[in-house]
Amino acid sequence: MQTLNQEEIVKLQPKGLITIPKKFRELLDLEENGLVKVRIEKDRLVIEPVKTLSYKVRSYTEEEIEEFFKLDEEESKILRKKKLI
């Protein structure tokens, strides 16, 4: 991603709303109704894009997670014996 050395003055609207200039939205691929992260950093307001996944992410139960770690530990022991890790 290119570094932006551009700046613009925007008006702070009622309820703290601002409009991000179109050229910035296009450069950063910000979409309408998309998400951004806002934080304060050294007396500056930083707004950065948040990318979301376009598909559902599977959730795992505690039992499935425990089973995974157990299997991982067993496989790691085998690989250590074979000096592969």
pLDDT tens digits for range 50-60: 988 888 889 99
Q: What pLDDT is stored for residue 54 in this prediction?
A: 83
Residue 65 has pLDDT above 90, yes or no: yes
Q: DSSP 3-state assignment of 4?
A: coil
Q: Please check the confidence at residue 47 and state whether its pLDDT lies above 90.
A: yes
pTM of the model: 0.54
1-45: pLDDT as tens digits: 556 578 999 999 999 999 999 999 999 999 999 999 999 999 999
Q: 10-49: b or e for each residue (b if 16 or more CB lie within 10 Å)?
A: eeeeeeeeeeeeeebeeebebeeeeeeeeeeeeeeeeeee
For residue 43, the model assigns a pLDDT of 94
Which pLDDT score is estimated for 3?
Answer: 61
Three-class SS state of 39: strand
